[in-house]
Amino acid sequence: MLIGKTFGSLTVIEYTGEKRISNVSKHDTKHYLCLCECGNTIEVSKPSLEYKLVKNCGCKRFKKIN
Ligand SMILES: [Zn+2]
pLDDT averaged over the chain? 89
- Main-chain dihedrals φ then ψ at residue 41, nearest 5 degrees: -110, 150
Q: Is the pLDDT of residue 51 over 60?
A: yes
What count of residues does the chain have? Answer: 66
What is the per-residue pLDDT across 5-24, written as a single tens digit (0 to 9) for each?
Answer: 999 999 999 999 999 877 76
Task: Give the containing element (helix H, strand E) for 20.
Answer: strand 10-20
CA of 55 to the centre of ligand 1 (A): 9
pLDDT at 26: 81
- Give the model's pLDDT for residue 24: 66
Q: What is the pLDDT of residue 65?
A: 55
Which of 49, 57, 20 has its CA nearest to residue 32? Answer: 49
Residue ranges of the domains in the chain? 6-50
52 C-alpha to ligand 1 centroid (Å): 15
Coil, helix or strand for 41?
strand
The whole-number pLDDT of residue 60 equals: 80
